[in-house]
């Protein structure tokens, strides 16, 4: 998915979030994915749709756009194209901010969040904030070391919310990130390191 970039630290008002709760609820009900996981990705990708430039153009890597940062350049069938019609499976709220005229649109919050839920569900995520959720988030980002960090942070934030309540402006607890990494991220990171080391070794000569 999108290349990770640290998001804005701008304080996010509760009234800004009101339009997202019905969308999260519809996505959870439609695709069976924990809404806290969706919200955590939304926070990671665009600071709940407050990051600059997410409603037009593409990101700094020129590949992804919108509040959930869908890739629209990794063809021939892009990630966005795979799930862009996911909005058809649920009832669109009567009103919410940034509702586009045409659908599907990566810049429409409902279209994008529904598509993200569908993608996570297809990759094995459900209601549990567990290894299946971690793997789905890792798939959402992409399989590399930064993707491991991304999945660790996203899942840790969702778990923190499940334990202490949804908190818009709270940071991710370091202890939770470390625990998630130890349980799910570390084995994947080790496999990536081993694969990199193996590919860097010079090929052995065959017999004469």
What is the per-residue DSSP string for 9-43? -----HHHHTTTHHHHHHHHHHH---HHHHHHHHH
Residue 135, in any domain of the structure: yes
Region 201-207 average pLDDT:
58
> Residue 3 has what pLDDT?
39
175-182: average pLDDT: 98
Residue 65, SS3 per DSSP: strand
Rounded to whole angstroms, the Cα distance separating 21 from 43 reads 13
Burial call 136-157: b when 16+ CB within 10 Å, e when fewer: bbbbbbbeeeebbbbbbbbbbb
Query: Looking at the domain assignment, is residue 89 inside a domain?
Result: yes
Per-residue model confidence (pLDDT) at position 97: 87
In a domain? residue 1: no
Report yes or no on 4 lying in a domain. no
**Which range marks the domain in which residue 29 is found?**
14-200
Give a yes or no: residue 6 inside a domain. no
Q: What is the mean pLDDT of residues 136-163?
A: 97
pLDDT digits 0-9 by tens, 19-42: 999 999 999 999 999 999 999 999
Mean of pLDDT values over 148-155: 98
Any domain includes 8: no
Lowest mean pLDDT among 8-22, 72-86, 112-126: 8-22
Position 128 pLDDT exceeds 70: yes
Residue 181 lies in a domain: yes
């Amino acid at each position: 998915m999108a290349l990770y970039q640290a998001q804005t630290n701008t304080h996010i008002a509760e009234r800004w979030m009101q339009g997202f709760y019905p969308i999260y609820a519809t996505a959870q009900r439609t695709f069976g994915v924990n809404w806290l996981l969706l919200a955590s990705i939304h926070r990671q990708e665009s600071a709940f749709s407050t990051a600059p430039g997410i409603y037009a153009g593409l990101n700094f890597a020129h590949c992804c756009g919108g509040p959930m940062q869908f890739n629209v350049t990794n063809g021939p069938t892009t990630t966005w194209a795979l799930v862009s019609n996911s909005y058809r499976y649920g009832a669109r709220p009567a009103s919410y901010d940034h509702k586009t005229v045409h659908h599907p649109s990566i810049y429409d919050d409902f279209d994008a969040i529904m598509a993200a839920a569908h993608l996570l569900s297809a990759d094995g995520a459900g209601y549990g904030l567990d290894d299946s959720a971690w793997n789905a988030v890792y798939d959402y980002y992409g399989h590399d070391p930064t993707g491991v960090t991304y999945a660790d942070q996203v899942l840790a934030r969702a778990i923190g919310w499940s334990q202490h309540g949804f908190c818009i402006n709270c940071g991710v607890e370091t202890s939770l990130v470390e625990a998630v990494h130890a349980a799910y991220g570390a084995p994947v990171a080790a496999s990536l390191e081993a694969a990199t080391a193996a590919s860097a070794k010079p090929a052995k000569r065959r017999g004469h």
